[in-house]
Structure 1
């Protein structure tokens, strides 16, 4: 686990897809070199969520890019996705690992430093593929988040863990490099790609920050 998590990580948001369909945004991001895609659907029903997951899995399979599902293990299993991203109030990650098996990619959001300390009390070497710092910067994409970690927060977590770190929240071309330099292995991006007129080019530009 862990060796797959590097580079640009697209988190989908259909209302932000102003110029292209969701499937087309994902396809262009794949052409641009995205390394992971997470399907995040907060408002849709289970049937539509499942159909979207199947559609994106079909788009990504030729590129060998993993598809993760936000929160929903049932959708992950039904659609044959590659794993799940879990928040602090979702199904416990240990149960997700038990159900999905060792080959699934499982990531966990940390909203505060206390979340990390609690995780370490449960298991100092948790079988997780990455930890997500959420949010790094204030963002309009998610409004119910705790105070931003900032670059110093990313640095703090980098000193505490060997697990890959995914940074999410307010990340764009102008600040991507400094987030990587602070210790992030992967940049989770929502609006910068979903709302781009050219998602492929945007993904390519963000990917160059890792070189």
Structure 2
């Protein structure tokens, strides 16, 4: 299965994002339709050291039990320690070519991009997919770029008609359709699932919006 097929409902999460046990949140989210997971254990209240590694190991096990990719946010060393399926880096988290040389050609490499120029550079240097955003205003991440919305997806899609793209930033069931109907392969979310009362239901609802958006593109 290609990475594009794993992008429809992409959960990004750490223990600091959850009101409930993150392992159980992830399990329920996958049961509801999550297709890819990124371990992002950073910020206030995040685990560090061996606790961070241990949680990552348990989350990876859940992912692999259900056959979905386990990606690590930013930390290449942690990704290697956990034998993750890949790494996702931002514009300030290192050079794409350097990260690729460290993780090898078999691991997935996702790169954040905010415009066509950054997308082009990431793709040329070896990214397997790009995360484009922020789509909408979000309180989860403080270090975000200017919000331009799904129009950025369309601009990038015009230049790269088939390259795997996932939209991120402030996405919920209310606006996921707009992101996918603009050309994204899927949506990446944090609080829309991690802080939902029912992670199964939240994932199902997002999955439905994504499917509806894809149908619009295919018409």
TM-score, normalised by the number of residues in structure 1: 0.90
1:46 aligned to 2:49? yes
Name the residue aligned to 1:135: 134
Q: How does 1:44-193 map to 2 (within 5 A)?
A: 44-116=47-119, 118-119=121-122, 123=124, 126-161=125-160, 162-193=162-193
| Contact 1:5/1:130 (8 A) holds in 2 | no
Residue in 1 that maps onto 2:13: 12
User: What is the root-mean-square deviation in Å for CA atoms of aligned residues?
Assistant: 1.7
Superposed CA offset, 1:21-77 (max 9, x none): 111110101111211000101243232221121010111111011110000111111
Partner SS for 2:110: strand
Answer yes or no: is the 8 Å Cα contact 1:173–1:205 preserved in 2: yes
Q: CA deviation at 1:91?
A: 2.3
Cα pair distance change 1:93/1:208, threshold 3 Å: same
CA distance in 2 between partners of 1:184 and 1:114 (Å): 17
Structure 1 match to 2:217:
none
Does the 8 A contact of 1:57 with 1:67 survive in 2? yes
Instruction: Report the alpha carbon displacement of residue 106 of structure 1 after superposing the two structures with TM.
Output: 0.7
Runs (5+) with no aligned partner, structure 2: 212-219
Distance 2:136 2:205 in 1: 20
Distance 2:166 2:4 in 1: 13
Deviation at 1:117, TM superposition (A): 5.0
Give unmatched runs, 5+ long, in structure 1. Answer: none
Distance across 2 between alignment mates of 1:6 and 1:118: 21
- Deviation per CA, 1:94-126, whole angstroms, max 9, x where unpaired? 122222122211100013444235446xx3xx4
